[in-house]
């Protein structure tokens, strides 16, 4: 799809409310993490248990060691992604990772698929609830109101993701080049620290603790890079906290 076609689609998504609804999403996001941390301080613990249950079910169906390793890695990264969301207070499908910008596409598609399933459910229940209201079936009106609201939310979330997927595709080559530079710089600056982290993760099915990672440090260079990596992550969090989250900073409207 060329840029002319993408721009045409973007205009349609804007007319359908993508930009305005996305402002609402970001406003809700700010509140969401604060409430979640306050009301459920052990959220990460519960999320880990949820991942472990799903992992065990999938491991039972695994047919090879390679498949088992892939399943273990998938849930390790899922846990890490959730920790990143909580630490930075950003939904992964609405914010570009400045160091891995092309990752956003898979999160956009993933979130879009969730809302498409929700919309299908809405379109099944809506006619039934309308019939219920007409025939006087108990609780049909509250169900109808809820489904109408849910339909609007699912539709607009799909519209936002379509809008952002188009924006991504417009500058995908630029983001890929940026990511390649970031990967090269990261390898040069933190390559030895990354080896320590990967080794720690390979030795366990669950996420290694900070102490377990530190225990795998064997050289002064690894220790130096690990310290610099931690400081860099801390600075990133502080920048977001003081300056606000950068949303789609590399993608022009």
Distance CA 167, CA 174 (A): 12
Contact between 248 and 96 under an 8 Å Cβ cutoff? The reply is yes
Classify residue 165: in a domain, yes or no: no
For tokens 């620290």, the residue is 193
Residues contacting residue 94 through CB under 8 Å, at least 6 positions apart: 22, 25, 26, 29, 164, 247
Residue 144 counted as domain residue: no
Q: Indicate whether 222 belongs to any domain.
A: yes
What's the whole-number mean pLDDT along residues 209-228? 89
Burial profile 167-198: b = 16 or more Cβ within 10 angstroms, e = fewer = bbbbbeeebeebbeeeeeebeeebebbbebee
Quick one: average pLDDT of 24-41? 90
Averaged pLDDT score across all residues of the chain: 88
Q: In the prediction, which pLDDT does 87 show?
A: 86
Instruction: Report the pLDDT value the prediction gives residue 94, as an integer from 0 to 100.
Output: 86
Q: How confident is the model at residue 245 (pLDDT cuts 50, 70, 90)?
A: very low
- What average pLDDT score do residues 165-178 get? 92
Task: Yes or no: say if 115 and 154 are a contact pair by the CB < 8 Å rule.
Answer: yes
Q: What is the pLDDT of residue 155?
A: 96
Per-residue pLDDT at 251 exceeds 80: no
pLDDT at position 242:
55
**Do the domain assignments include residue 142?**
no
* pLDDT for the residue 187: 86
The share of the chain scoring above pLDDT 90, in percent, equals 58
Q: What is the pLDDT of residues 69-128, one digit of tens each?
A: 999 999 998 999 999 899 888 888 888 888 888 999 999 999 999 999 999 999 999 999
Residues 18, 159: Cα–Cα separation, whole Å = 6
Q: Which of the two residues, 205 and 60, has the higher pLDDT score? A: 60
Is the per-residue pLDDT at 214 higher than 70?
yes
At residue 42, the pLDDT reads 93
Residue bearing the bigger pLDDT, 10 or 183: 10
pLDDT of residue 250: 39
Number of domains in the chain: 1
Cβ neighbours of 95 (radius 10 Å):
21
Higher pLDDT, 88 or 46: 46
Residue 188 lies in a domain: yes
What's the pLDDT tens digit per position in 219-243?
999 999 999 888 888 887 777 655 5
Domain span holding position 195: 171-253
What is the predicted pLDDT for the residue at 70? 92
The answer as to whether 68 is a domain residue is no
Region 59-71 average pLDDT: 92
pTM metric for this prediction: 0.80
- pLDDT of residue 31 exceeding 50: yes
Phi, psi of 209, deg, nearest 5: -75, 165
* 4 within a domain of the structure (yes/no): no
Residue 249 pLDDT more than 90?
no
The predicted-structure confidence for 3-19, as pLDDT tens digits, reads as follows 889 999 999 999 999 99
- 145 within a domain of the structure (yes/no): no
């Amino acid at each position: 799809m060329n840029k002319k076609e993408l721009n045409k689609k973007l205009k349609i998504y804007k007319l359908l409310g993508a930009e305005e609804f996305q402002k609402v999403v970001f406003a809700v996001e700010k509140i969401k993490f604060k409430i979640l941390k306050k009301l459920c301080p052990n959220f990460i613990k519960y999320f880990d248990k949820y991942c472990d249950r799903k992992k065990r079910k999938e491991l039972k169906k695994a047919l090879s060691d390679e498949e088992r390793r892939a399943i273990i890695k998938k849930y390790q990264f899922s846990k890490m992604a959730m920790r990143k969301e909580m630490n930075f207070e950003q939904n992964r499908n609405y914010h570009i990772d400045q160091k891995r910008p092309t990752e956003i596409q898979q999160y956009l598609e993933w979130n879009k698929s969730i809302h498409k399933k929700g919309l299908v459910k809405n379109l099944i229940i809506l006619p039934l609830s309308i019939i219920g209201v007409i025939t006087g079936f108990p609780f049909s009106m509250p169900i109808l109101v809820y489904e109408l609201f849910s339909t609007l939310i699912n539709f607009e979330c799909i519209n936002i993701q379509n809008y952002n997927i188009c924006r991504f595709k417009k500058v995908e080559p630029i983001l890929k080049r940026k990511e390649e530079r970031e990967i090269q710089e990261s390898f040069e600056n933190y390559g030895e620290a990354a080896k320590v982290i990967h080794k720690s993760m390979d030795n366990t099915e669950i996420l290694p603790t900070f102490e377990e990672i530190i225990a795998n440090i064997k050289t002064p260079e690894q220790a130096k890079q690990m310290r610099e990596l931690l400081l860099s992550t801390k600075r990133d969090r502080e920048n977001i906290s003081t300056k606000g989250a950068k949303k789609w900073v590399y993608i022009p409207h």
